[in-house]
Each structure stands twice: as structure tokens, then as C-alpha cells.
Amino acid sequence: MQPRRQSFIAVPTDPCSGSLPALAMADFSLRPRLGFKGAGTADWLAAQGLSLPPEPNQSVKDDQGRLIARLSWGEFLLLGDFAALQSAWSFETAPLCFPLPRLHSHAWIVISGDAAPKMMAKICGVDLRAHKFAQGRIAQTSVARLNAIVIADRIRGRLGFHLLSDISTSQYLWDCLCDAMLEFDGAPVVLEALAKESHGQTDAQG
């Protein structure tokens, strides 16, 4: 029997499954993701055929809609199914490149709605308005007093963010977001409601 993998976030059982609310948020924590870090990482990932953002705090999408985020000169966060990379990696084949268990270290929350920057301004001190924080930009900063990675992305055709933050505090963060989005008629939705266009790949076991 496959063991059960469990998000740290308790999502209401029927979170607003009808039409998309003006501001919507879904728990993507069970969706695949991966990280690599170390001085040899950029070289090794490029050798695996990935095209990488040239500078830290930028992200790009590949042709499969997977998101490749560069967090520093030698650290990358890969949102989507990169299982092939995982099996290609070893200490011997990837010198100075080390995998990070991002699937389990970080919760992944996706926010969609044009009021998303305004909502984030209640919990985050970085200017995330679209004309100052373009699609693909990354801010590694403090959100509701937690360290978090914020990535700008259009989600379901609207402004949106990927929010990655320590998994142990993810319920707290979820609750903060629920509270912050109330004044914008925001609500949690099921994962599928936001997954359609943002990440096409199938749900995978970590």
C-alpha cells in the first residue's frame, strides 16, 4: 500500500468549487517540486537541458509550463514534475550540486486575482504591484513574519503569486492569508481551480 502523503494545511472540504472568486487561493503543497543548490548547480542543470534564468531572483517557464526559479547564483527551485532530474542526480554525476527536499520543507500556496498585490501588501513589505514586480520576478522576503519565497506569475489569466514558505508554519500562513483576503472577497478554492493553466502536468507522488 502506498503511504499517504499529507499537506500541513487543513483546507475546507468544499472550498468554493463554483466560479472563481475575485481573489482565490489554493494549497499546492502536494504538487511536485524540487530544489538544487551548490556551486556546481547551474552547470549541471544546464547540462541536463534546462534553460536557466540568468540572474538570481528571476524565474522562467519551460515549454511544459514548469517553473524554473533562480534563488541565488547557485540555488534553484523547480516547480513542477522534474522526476527525471531527481533520478539523474548523484554525488558522483553532479559535482557540487545538491538536491533540496523542497517538496517537504516548504508549503506551496498559489494565489490568483488582480487584487493579489494589494492583499499581499497587508502582510509583506516588498512592493509586489505588477508594474514594479513583473511576471517571473522573485522576492525572498518576510511574509506575515515568516521567511517566504514569492514568485509573480499570471494564474488563470489574472495576477498571481506562488508563495513558498516553511511547511511547519503553513497552517498559520494559510490562516493569515484567509484573513488578509477577506476584504477583497477572496476565498480558498480547490487546487484544480487554479491548476488548469498554471501547471499542466499530472499530479505526482513525491
The smaller minimum CB distance to another protein, of residues 172 and 201, is found at 172
Query: Contacting another protein (CB under 8 A), which of 20, 52, 130, 176?
Result: 176
Dist CA 66 CA 79 (whole Å) = 6
Query: Contacting another protein (CB under 8 A), which of 17, 64, 88, 104?
Result: 104
Residue with cell 524554473: 68
Q: Which listed range, 61-69, 155-163, 173-181, 187-195, lies at the site for another protein (CB under 8 A)?
A: 173-181
Instruction: Tell me which H or E stretch contains 87.
Output: helix 83-88
The answer to whether 184 contacts another protein (rule: CB under 8 A) is no
Interacting residues with another protein between 74 and 103 (CB under 8 A): 91, 96, 98, 100-101, 103
- Amino acid present at 45: L
- Cα torsion at 126, 129, 130, 135 (round to 10°)? 20
Q: Which listed range, 46-54, 61-69, 127-135, 190-198, lies at the site for another protein (CB under 8 A)?
A: 127-135
Dist CA 194 CA 26 (whole Å) = 7
Query: Contacting another protein (CB under 8 A), which of 23, 67, 148, 155?
Result: 148
Q: Are 141 and 124 in contact (CB under 8 A)?
A: yes
Instruction: Provide the minimum distance between the beta carbon of 19 and another protein in the complex, in angstroms, as a whole number.
Output: 28
SS3 93: coil
